């Protein structure tokens, strides 16, 4: 019997994502001026206020207020009518030094003997369902949000958009897990106050989403996915009515509260640890990236059509306590999932320091991850500039989304005789 699966995404202007982006901007600045910084920054945003908290061990000092304000303005919160603006909000910093009890388990005389920054389990997932090896419902949801933000910045076809928005996509699957059609699309977008009455306003927003936004999203997909967009889709567009009050004024935002949006949209599994604001010594982040890297390379190499990788750690311990592989009965090799996991452990060094080195995680690469998902993105090399009243100016060439690279496919094929 056919079944339905749903994933959601949120925009860069969603209050939780505002918090994530501020936390990751702080992390990037610490790493730009001191690559060995140990950082765990949490952010709270609400009406007219930003609160920064967390623990840091670094040789640099930052103007955290300016960094936070720049992020808020870049997102688009620049008007007094939003009740939250980068130029006028208060910024309170409660950041303090990292506990020595934690640090002694992480820092070692030899870098390669670095212990895990915390205990816990992390997951990576990949599927042949899309070209970027991500679940389709989440991929569509992310693209809806990304294109809506692009339309807001263009101020051409749609001029009334504000930064806060959410999307949700439901897809019908066949018994053999093949997408059949898109059943429901939900889009809630913050907007300016209209002079017209509410019914006229809602009708215009609904028409613009269906006639302008969705076609822009649809054409980004290959033909077989475009066919899933059909005339029978049920749309819920701003289903509660007006959405003028939004962003941190409408809802308080916190770092790390959109971990399913950040990963696989409910597919696979999640260990519960957030990413944003954490330097790569925190395996919540680095090992989750490494597990995605493994899963994606295994699926791309043809080991299985769908793979979940779990890795776990004990704080201060170098080697992972376990590595698990689940192929969901989709494997294309004559090995058990346990045997596949043993081969994975031989191919991929999962010690924390090895992960940092392999994926180049001690670089200021994290601001770009903090909206529209950490996984399924396109690896690229860019130049970034950081300026500080205390440290001057530094320019960095950095490689983004290294965990999405497929440079291990040949090694995997060789190991599994594919």
CATH class of 120-128+283-415: alpha beta
Task: For residue 11, say whether it is annotated as part of any ligand binding site.
Answer: no
CA 64, CA 73: separation in Å to the nearest integer? 14
For every residue of the chain, which 3-state class applies, written as one string? CCEEEEEEEECCCCHHHHHHHHHHHHHHHHHHHCCCCEEEEEEEEECCEEEEEEEEECCCCCCHHHHHHHHHHHHCCCCHHHCCCCCCCEEEEEEEECCHHHHHHHCCCCHHHCCECCCEEEEEEEECCCCCCCCHHHHHHHHHHHHHHHHHHHCCCCCCEEEEEEEEEEEEECCCCCEEEEEEEEEEEEECCCCCCHHHHHHHHHHHHHHHHHHHHHCCCCHHHHCCCCCCCEEEECCCCCCCCCHHHHCCEECCCCHHHHCCCCCCCCCCCCCCCECCCCHHHHHHHHHHHHHHHHHHHCCECEEEEEEEECECCCCCCEEEEECCCCECCCCCHHHHHHHHHHHCCCCHHHHHHHHCCCCCCCHHHCCCCCCCCCCEEEEEEEEECCCEEEEEEEEECHHHCCCCHHHHHHHCCC
Average pLDDT over residues 252-267: 97
* Sheet architecture: strand order including 120-127: 120-127, 306-313, 322-326
Least confident of 227-236, 241-250, 256-265: 241-250
CATH 3.30.300.10 fits 3-8+136-245, yes or no: yes
Same CATH fold assignment for domains 3-8+136-245 and 120-128+283-415 = yes
Q: Is 203 annotated as a binding residue?
A: no
**154 annotated ligand binder:** no
Tell me if 165 is assigned to a ligand binding site. yes
- pLDDT greater than 80 at residue 107: no
How buried is residue 265: exposed, middle or buried, by Cβ count under 10 Å (0-12/13-18/19+)?
A: buried
Q: Where are the domains of the chain?
A: 3-8+136-245, 120-128+283-415
Instruction: Please check if 166 is assigned to a binding site.
Output: yes
Residue 195, C-beta contacts closer than 8 angstroms, at least 6 positions apart:
none
pLDDT-wise least confident of 13-27, 98-112, 261-275, 397-411? 98-112
- Known binding residue 206? Answer is no
pLDDT score for 197:
77
197 a known binding residue? no
Q: What is the pLDDT of residues 278-327, one digit of tens each?
A: 999 999 999 999 999 999 999 999 999 999 999 999 998 999 999 999 99
Residue 242 marked in a binding site: yes
Spell out the residues 6+ positions from residue 178 whose beta carbon is closer than 8 angstroms to its own: none
Do 158 and 151 contact (CB within 8 A), yes or no? Answer: yes
Q: Is 16 annotated for ligand binding?
A: yes
Query: Is 305 assigned a ligand-binding role in the annotation?
Result: no
**How high is the pLDDT of residue 104?**
52
- Annotated binding residue at 274? yes
pLDDT at residue 101 above 50?
A: no
98 annotated as a binding-site residue: yes
- Residues 90, 49 contacting (CB under 8 angstroms): yes
Which tens digit of pLDDT belongs to each residue from 353-403? 999 999 999 999 999 999 999 999 999 999 999 998 888 999 999 999 999
Interval 46-54 mean pLDDT:
96
164 is in an annotated binding site: yes
> What is the pTM for the complete model shown?
0.95
If you average pLDDT over residues 116-134, what whole number do you get?
Answer: 94
């Amino acid at each position: 019997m056919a079944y339905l699966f749903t994933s959601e995404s949120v925009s860069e202007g969603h209050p939780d994502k505002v918090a994530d982006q501020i936390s990751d901007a702080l992390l990037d600045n610490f790493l730009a001026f001191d690559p060995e910084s140990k950082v765990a920054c949490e952010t709270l945003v609400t009406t007219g206020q930003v609160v920064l908290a967390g623990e840091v061990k670094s040789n640099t000092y930052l103007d955290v207020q300016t960094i936070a304000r720049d992020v808020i303005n870049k997102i688009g919160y620049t008007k007094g009518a939003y009740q939250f603006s980068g130029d006028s909000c208060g910024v309170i910093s409660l950041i303090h030094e990292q506990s020595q009890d934690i640090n002694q388990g992480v820092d070692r005389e030899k870098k390669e003997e670095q212990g895990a920054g915390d205990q816990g389990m992390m997951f990576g997932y990949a599927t042949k369902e899309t070209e970027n090896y991500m679940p389709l419902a989440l991929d569509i949801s992310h693209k809806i949000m990304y294109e809506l933000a692009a339309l807001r910045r263009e101020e051409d076809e749609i001029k009334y958009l504000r930064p806060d928005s959410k999307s949700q996509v439901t897809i019908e699957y066949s018994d053999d897990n093949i997408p059949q059609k898109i059943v429901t699309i939900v889009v809630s977008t913050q907007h300016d106050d209209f002079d017209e009455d509410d019914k006229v306003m809602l009708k215009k927003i609904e028409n613009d989403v269906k006639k302008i936004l969705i076609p822009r999203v649809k054409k980004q997909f290959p033909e077989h996915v475009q066919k899933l967009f059909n005339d029978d889709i049920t749309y819920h567009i701003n289903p509660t009515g007006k959405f003028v009050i939004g962003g941190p004024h409408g809802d308080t935002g916190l770092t790390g509260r959109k971990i399913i949006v950040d990963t696989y949209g409910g597919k696979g599994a999640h260990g519960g640890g957030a990413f944003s604001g954490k330097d790569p010594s925190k395996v919540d982040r680095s090992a989750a990236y490494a597990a995605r890297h493994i899963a994606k390379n295994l699926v791309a190499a043809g080991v299985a059509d769908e793979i979940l990788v779990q890795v776990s750690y004990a704080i201060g311990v170098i080697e992972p306590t376990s590595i698990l592989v689940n192929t969901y009965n989709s494997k294309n090799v004559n090995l058990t999932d346990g045997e596949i996991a043993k081969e994975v452990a031989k191919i991929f060094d999962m010690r924390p320091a090895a992960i940092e080195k392999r994926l180049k995680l001690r670089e200021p690469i994290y601001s770009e991850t903090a909206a529209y998902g950490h996984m399924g993105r396109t690896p690229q090399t860019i130049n970034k500039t950081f300026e500080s009243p205390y440290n001057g100016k530094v320019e960095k060439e950095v490689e983004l989304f290294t965990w999405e690279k497929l440079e291990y496919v040949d090694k995997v094929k060789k190991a599994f005789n594919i």
